[in-house]
A and B are shown apart, each in its own frame.
Chain A
Amino acid sequence: MSKVLASTNPYIPNSTTRAKEEMLRTIGIQDIDSLFSAIPSELKLNRLLNLPEPYQSEYELQKHVTKILDKNTSTNERLSFLGSGCYQHFVPAVCDEINSRNEFLTAYSGKAYEDHGRWQALFEYTSLMAELLNMDVVNLPTYDGLQAAATAMRMAANISGRKEIILAKAIQPDKLSKIMEYNRHLLTFKFINFDPLTGGMDLSQLEQSLSSDTAAIYFDNPNFFGVIESNAGEICSLAHQHGALAIVGADPISLGILKPPADYGADIACGDIQSLGIHMQFGGGHAGYIASRDEEKFVREYPNRIVGILPTREEGEYGFGEVAFRRTSFEARESGKEWLGTMANLWAITAGVYLALMGPQGMQEVGQTITERVNYAMRALSSIDSISLQFPQAAHFREFVVDFSRTKKSVKEINRDLLERGIFGGLDISAVFPQFQNHAVYCVTEVHTKEDIDDLARNLAEVLS
């Protein structure tokens, strides 16, 4: 039996009979169906959609959805050591306050006259990121760090006029999948192994692979294993010696303590800004940045919006607009660079708020404390007999690889046991890195206390005993 439905919809002001009648009269027709008369009847759906009965009252809807969401168990309720592309960092309350303002949330793409605040906040985001990156150009974010890396490679290929990308193998598998799928018809790829001891790029293989066909070298720093690439400067110079560009994937949250890619020779930096004040949201909080020097040949290759500042008729007032807009698909359709569309500006505004709150000292401190905690965690875990670390001598940031192959359990079993004890263990990478059977990537950030890490070590020791 179906419910009796309310005839007036609170979201639809003109759902009242009065409004419908008056508007139909103005148009000069009898019924709403006449408005659809241009559509051939054989294309029309001659029945109602087969959907569940609606929850018309807000209370019922709230209750229904909350009940489903309650089936989730979040990292608030458990202790999580998962990273691998999405990170549990501290989110300042001001970040949420600003990104939930209806004024920012429901704005879209007005000009800097009516949306001056949105434009300024976006310009401030790129300006703050530029300081962190020591680069003069930063895009308005693309969808995520995966797209940023895939796009940066196309930019490099166009700038260099070459088609081959040399890639470090120590890369997030999803990122690799995106890069390859997106560029399969344009680029070719060569892969460089990581050194089994240091976790860094194999420099001799890199030297052999470079040629006058190389458009760019790409590597993440730190890489997928949390290893800081200590030869980053040499890698970038090798690229330049062969007339290729160097692209570095860097998480901005590391840059208060790590050298920004520009300082060791990167031509393009890219990555994801989720770490900067944006909740994990089951992977929903991502946005990708791309940055470079302020050179025309670089700027003209960006597919995304770049905000510029300009004067107004009133002295001292700032206006904003789009830099080199003709390169975009809104101006040039299929002749433009990739495409423009709705991407991830709310996260750009949020990341700007985060950087403004953190300041230089906050960024240094967060980098420092993550480094301390990851080193503490590495020591704590390696003190367990059957466990070893994969790259014990290498410098790490935020993540590290744990080798469980000497234990009697698989990572899958260990994680199941940890889960029973209220802990989300690190990501099992056995399937994606076959040389690392029974290895897992553990992640430690500024949200993990000494007690949290001790808890993990104690529980691991117990489930492995």
Chain B
Amino acid sequence: MNARHYHQARWNEPIICEMGSSGERGVLIPPFDGGAEPSSESGAFIPENMRRTAPPDLPEISQVEVLRHYLRLSQENLGAGLIPDFGMATSTMKYNPPVNEQLSRSAKLTNLHPLQDEATTQGILEIMYQLEQFLKEISGMDRVSLQPRGGSQAIYANLAMIRAYHAKRGELEQRNEIITTIFSHPSDAAVPSAAGFKVITLYPEASGYPSLDQLKAVVSERTAGLCITNPDDTGIFNPHIREFVDIVHAAGGLCAHDQANANGLLGIVRSRESGFDLCQFNLHKTFSTPHGSGGPGSGVSCVSSALADYLPSPTVEFDGEKYHLEYDRPDSIGKIASFYGVAANFIRAYAWILAHGAEGLREVAQIATLNNNYLMTKILEISGVSAPYAAKQFRIDQTRYSWEKLTHETGLKITDISRRSVDFAMHFFYSHHPYWVEDPATLEPTESYSQRDIDEFIASWTQIVDEAYHDPEIVRSAPHLAPIHQMTHPEYLSDPDKWSPTWRAFRRKYPGGFGNE
């Protein structure tokens, strides 16, 4: 198979603030016929000192042109709907079935106010309740909150519950340390820190995970808990995870399993059997709700019965006849997010789980893992790329590769290779700081992509490697076929005098445009 001959849309659209002209309208507001002194000047009911004096400097654009502008911008994207999107690993970019979209956009949800009488919201409450039952079974945990609006916010909810648990025992002052690993998501370190804990990070050995001795050396009466991804971003499953959990438990800590990377484990391994007290899933990853250009996602917090009282309020309960929202929960950590979370995602995830059933979910995990190992087998045949740690061992849902050999031999950078990928309608993620694997590229081919898709990806990388050794300039100067050319002046993002966080800041700092400052 050859790499794709392709060219992305390049519309050169102006920034919207520059569009339109005076007097144009995109939409009209329904007039009011209430005789409420309509003849009075604008703002008649607003005290003089609180009235806006000059109208906001927004553009005036006809509806046709607003629609066209955004449609053109929509064409300048590469998401899971357009490409085999497995370069954004740890993100589980899978297929987002349009039927779920259709259901979630039903007027029976979109026009529902969260504070309506429960008699009028029984349908969505039923879906929330049933989704909780599914997620309890999938995780093995006892209660679930759907409230967090993202995976990291669910990690936060879990940390807040760990905090509440120790506070209730009078041990919070003493227990102020959370242990994590470097290949756990950055949020497994950042969120505990935001929640007030000191963070201790363990580093992998040749196996790809830290040793039990490393853990034992840092566990103490100060340990509040363990916050860990398994399998982590390398795709290597830590087989000693149960012992990790037992060691932390023996010291009086709680264990939170970051299940953002759960796609390869559905129906195969659960947090319960590994001994965890809490875990979180990202509905926008494993359970197929769309990533929305960066949200809204949904994080769900799953806990053991010992922690159920601390869950965010309200919970959804069922008395055999009616569903209701329960607020009378004195030990609850309170509100983690507005109302009950991202309800559209509950419908999507509910429908997605029901489309699969138990055997289907296991098949998801199996094929996601099969795809990853097929991809890895083929990638390791490409010169210049390696998969550090756990040599010859199979990986679960994803693998973190290293381009170190190729960059050393060619002088190219990982960013060059990443930009060149775009010219073949592929892209990949070179992970979070610190780059513990040199020149990393993390791939997660999920169950949604075909063998053909994987072979096409391989063809693009094979061609890039060939170019890197024989015509490196084409890689270095990439992209060539994307909506824009290579960006210059990175200091325009890091220098306070030069950065432009909005168009009005840009106009102030660069009145004549870039190059004329």
Q: Tell whether, in the assembled complex, residue A136 and residue B149 are in contact, meaning their CB atoms are under 8 Å apart.
A: no
Q: Which stretch in A158-166, A188-196, A203-211, A276-284 binds the other chain?
A: A276-284
Residue of A nearest to B479 (CB): A113
A20 to B367: give the CA distance in the assembly, Å. 8
Contacting residues, chain A, for B370 (C-beta < 8 A) = 14, 20, 23-24, 27, 32, 35
A-B contacts besides A109-B291, A339-B194, 17 pairs, CB < 8 Å: A51-B358, A54-B356, A73-B116, A82-B115, A94-B26, A108-B88, A126-B501, A131-B504, A146-B337, A177-B335, A256-B56, A281-B343, A299-B496, A344-B149, A346-B294, A349-B70, A356-B16
Binds B, one of A96-104, A235-243, A381-389, A403-411: A96-104
Q: Hey, which chain B residues are within 8 Å of A22, CB to CB?
A: 451
Residue interface bits A167-186, CB-to-B below 8 A is 1, else 0? 00000001101101100011
Q: Which residues of A contact B358 (CB under 8 A)?
A: 48-51
Closest residue to B446 on the A side, CB-wise?
A: A12
Q: Let me know if B294 and A116 touch, CB within 8 A.
A: no
* Pairwise interchain contact A72-B124, C-beta atoms closer than 8 A: yes
| 4 A-B pairs with the lowest CB-CB distances in the bound complex, closest first | A283-B339, A54-B357, A357-B26, A117-B76
Known: A54-B360, A341-B152. A36 touches B369 (CB 8 A): yes
24 CB contacts below 8 A, A to B, read A9-B360, A45-B270, A65-B127, A69-B123, A106-B93, A107-B79, A110-B77, A115-B78, A116-B76, A117-B76, A128-B58, A233-B49, A257-B43, A272-B338, A279-B110, A282-B124, A283-B343, A308-B501, A310-B489, A311-B492, A312-B484, A319-B488, A331-B433, A368-B43
Check A127/B16 contact, CB under 8 A, given A136-B502, A281-B109, A311-B515.
yes
Bound complex: CA A232 to CA B435 (Å)? 48
The stretch from B211-219, B246-254, B373-381 touching chain A is: B373-381
Contact indicator A114/B8 (Cβ below 8 Å): yes
Distance between Cα atoms of A101 and B74 in the complex (Å): 7
Assess whether B469 is interfacial by the CB under 8 Å rule. no
Segment among B33-41, B405-413, B459-467 that sits at the interface with chain A: B33-41
Q: Are B494 and A94 in contact (CB under 8 A)?
A: no
Give which listed residue, B45, B53, B127, B273, contacts A42 with CB less than 8 A: B273
Map CB proximity to B onto A339-367 as digits: 1 under 8 Å, 0 otherwise: 11111111101001101111111111111
Are A330 and B295 interface neighbours, CB within 8 A?
no
Shortest distance in angstroms between B136's beta carbon and chain A's nearest beta carbon? 10
Q: How far is the CA of A363 from the CA of B97 in the complex (A)?
A: 36
Instruction: Find the B residue at minimum CB distance from A233.
Output: B49
Asked whether, in the complex, the Cβ of B493 is within 8 Å of the Cβ of A86, the reply is no
User: Given A94-B66, A361-B60, A11 and B109 touching (CB < 8 A)?
Assistant: no
Whether B50 and A294, one on each chain, are in contact in the complex, defined by CB atoms closer than 8 angstroms, is no
Taking CB atoms, residues of chain A closer than 8 Å to B4 are none
Task: Find out whether the CB atom of A446 lies under 8 angstroms from the CB atom of B123.
Answer: no
Q: Which A residues are CB-close (under 8 A) to B67?
A: 94, 97-98
Interface string of B99-132 (1 = CB under 8 A from A): 1011101111111111111011111101100000
Partner of B77, one of A114, A232, A330: A114
CB <8 Å contact, A283 and B501: no
Q: Do the beta carbons of A283 and B489 come within 8 Å of each other?
A: no
**Inside 8 A of A347's CB, which chain B residues have their CB?**
295-296
**Interchain CB contact under 8 A, B46 and A311:** no
A284 to chain B, nearest CB (A): 4
Pair A311/B487 contact, Cβ less than 8 Å = yes
A22–B370 alpha-carbon span in the complex (Å): 11
Shortest distance from the beta carbon of A370 to any chain B beta carbon, whole Å: 9
**Shortest CB distance B363–A (Å):** 6
By a CB distance below 8 angstroms, the chain B residues around A362 are 25-29
| Interface size range of chain A in the complex | 35 or more
Establish whether residues A75 and B113, one from each chain, have CB atoms under 8 Å apart when the complex forms: yes
- Complex Cα gap A142–B492 (Å): 24
Q: Is the CB of B501 within 8 A of A323?
A: yes
**Interface check B427, CB cutoff 8 A:** yes
Cross-chain contact A336 with B190 (CB below 8 angstroms): yes
Q: Are B46 and A122 in contact (CB under 8 A)?
A: no
Contact of A324 with B by CB under 8 A = yes
A272 to B114, CA, bound (A): 15
- Which residues of chain B are within 8 angstroms of A113 by Cβ–Cβ distance? 419, 422, 427, 479, 482-484
Residue of B nearest to A14 (CB): B367
Q: How many Å lie between the Cα of A36 and that of B122 in the bound state?
A: 41
Q: Is the CB of B78 within 8 A of A181?
A: no
A contact residues around B355 at 8 Å (CB): 11, 54-56, 58, 61
A178 touches B337 (CB 8 A): yes
- Indicate if the CB atoms of A317 and B485 lie closer than 8 Å: yes
Interface residues of A in 250-276 (CB under 8 A from B): 255-260, 263-264, 272
Q: Is the CB of B394 within 8 A of A284?
A: no
Residue B414 is within 8 A (CB to CB) of chain A in the complex: no
B145 on the A face (CB < 8 A): no
B71 A101 Cβ-Cβ under 8 A: yes
Please report which residues of chain B, range 337-382, place their CB below 8 angstroms from some CB of chain A when the two chains form the complex.
337-345, 347, 350-351, 353-364, 366-367, 369-371, 373-374, 377-378
**B304 contacts A by Cβ under 8 Å:** no
Q: Out of A38, A86, A357, A447, name the residue touching B114 (CB < 8 Å).
A: A86
Residues of A within 8 A of B493 (CB): 308, 310, 321-325
Interchain CB contact under 8 A, A334 and B432: no
Asked if B121 contacts A373 (CB within 8 A), the reply is no
Nearest A residue to B12, CB-CB: A317
List the A side residues contacting B342 at CB < 8 Å. Answer: 281, 284
With beta carbons under 8 angstroms apart, the residue of A120, A178, A256 that contacts B334 is A178
Q: Does A436 contact B (CB under 8 A)?
A: no
Interface-centre pick from B351, B358, B501 (highest chain A CB count, 10 A)? B501
Judge whether A147 is part of the interface by a CB distance below 8 angstroms.
Answer: yes
Compute how far the CA of A177 lies from the CA of B335 in the bound complex, rounded to whole angstroms: 6
Closest to A86 in B: B114
Task: Chain B residues near A326: list those with CB within 8 A.
Answer: 494
Let me know if A260 and B45 touch, CB within 8 A: no
Complex CA distance for A366 and B105, rounded to whole angstroms: 25
Which of A13, A333, A336, A396 has the most chain B CB atoms closer than 10 A to its own CB?
Answer: A333
Given contacts A117-B75, A127-B504, A359-B24, contact A310 B354 (CB under 8 A): no
A168 to B12 alpha-carbon distance, docked (Å): 47
Most chain B beta carbons < 10 A, residue from A37, A98, A145: A98
Verify B36–A49 contact, CB threshold 8 A.
Answer: no
Contact B99 A58 (CB under 8 A): yes
Q: Which residues of the other chain, A, contact B367 by a CB distance below 8 angstroms?
A: 12, 14-15, 20
Given contacts A100-B105, A286-B338, contact A358 B113 (CB under 8 A): no
B45 to A369, Cβ gap below 8 A? no
Nearest A residue (CB) for B478: A113
Q: Are A359 and B199 in contact (CB under 8 A)?
A: no
Cβ of A251 to closest chain B Cβ, rounded Å: 13
- Contact in complex: B66, A357 (CB < 8 Å): yes
Taking a contact as CB atoms under 8 Å apart, the answer to whether B30 and A369 are in contact is yes
